[in-house]
Structures are given as structure tokens and as C-alpha cells.
Amino acid sequence: MPEAMTFSAPHALFAADLLTECASTFLHMTQGLDVELELAASPAASERRVATALHAQRDRDTLVGAAAYAAWIGDHIRRQAARLRVADVEAAARYCDPGTDEMALRQREIAEARAADSFASLHLAPTPPPRPGELQGELRPGMLAQLERAREWCDQALWAASESNTTAMEAVCSHIRVLLLWVSGQCSAP
């Protein structure tokens, strides 16, 4: 007997929230790199600081790319949850007798599900942004701690997303694995 399709909306939305935290963390990390870039723009900047700024610019772009990748995954999870919620309510309405209070309630639930879940009608890019490359610069302890926190969130997001076994969620899990491998590789970077 084939395995039943399962979609856990609470787990999926938890995974999406964790990925949003990852994206926010990556963007927050760029603020420190912006400071490096500003200091290097000073006429009194040393050659070492200017060289560091070259890495900082590439790392900034890499972190913005990682944030976009994490946000894209989270948005797709939310869209999947919204579409399944609408489909679930519509399926329940098919079992109601027309003109009854129960049918009116289901129609109202359908309208609310469609209105409340703005991601159901959102047209997201079908393909993700490019996968982030490697960070080039020397990572300060604070940045390493932020990357480690993001790695833990990615790990938890993968667990939560894997509680659903729909085709779309399995695809999402493969993208989370890519992000998790990227973050794990950056945490162990010398």
C-alpha cells in the first residue's frame, strides 16, 4: 500500500518562519560588512583594509544572495500551505448540501482562506535565486556565531518541512538541504 500524502501546516509554517529568521540574519550580517566598506573608502585606509574591503563586498553580495535563497524557500512553503488550506476547505464544501447553514459556513471559510492567505495568489519565481557562493573574507567571531545560529535554524526548518511528504514539500526540503550545506560549510570555514 502506498504511503499516504501528509501535509502538516503547523510544521510547514514553522519551517517558513525559521527560514525568514535565516534570511534576516544573513541581511543583518551585511551591516558589519558595510562598515568595513565605509572604513576602506577613507583616504587614510591602509592597503590591508582596502584588501579586506574587496572580500567584504563579495561577501556582502553572497550574504544577500543567501538571504534571497532562504526567503524564496520560505515563500514557497507559505504558498504551498495557503493553496492546501484553500483546497481543504473547498473539498469540505463539496460534502455540504446546497442552501444549508453548513454550506454557507464553508463558502465563508473558502472566501476567508483565499483572502487571508495572500501567498495563494502570489506569483513567485518558479526557480530559486542562484545558490550562494563561498564567503571569501575572514569571519569575525560574531559573524561565525550568527552563521551557526542560522545553521541550527536551517536544520530545524529541514526537520519541520520533512514532516510533510507532498511532492512540493519534498522539493522544498532539497532546497533547504542546499542552504543547510552552504551554511554548514561557511561555519567551518577557516
Element holding 187 (H helix, E strand): helix 167-187
Selection from 126, 129, 132, 128 nearest residue 181 by Cα: 132
Selection from 60, 37, 32, 187 nearest residue 132 by Cα: 60
Could you state, in order of their start, the residue ranges of all structural domains in the chain?
9-123+137-187
pLDDT tens-digit map of 25-78: 999 999 887 777 776 666 766 776 666 677 778 888 999 999 999 999 999 999
pLDDT value, residue 57: 81
**Dihedral in degrees, nearest 10, Cα atoms 100, 104, 109, 110:** 100
pTM over 0.75, yes/no: yes
pLDDT value, residue 188: 58
Tell me which residues of the chain have a pLDDT lower than 50: 189-190
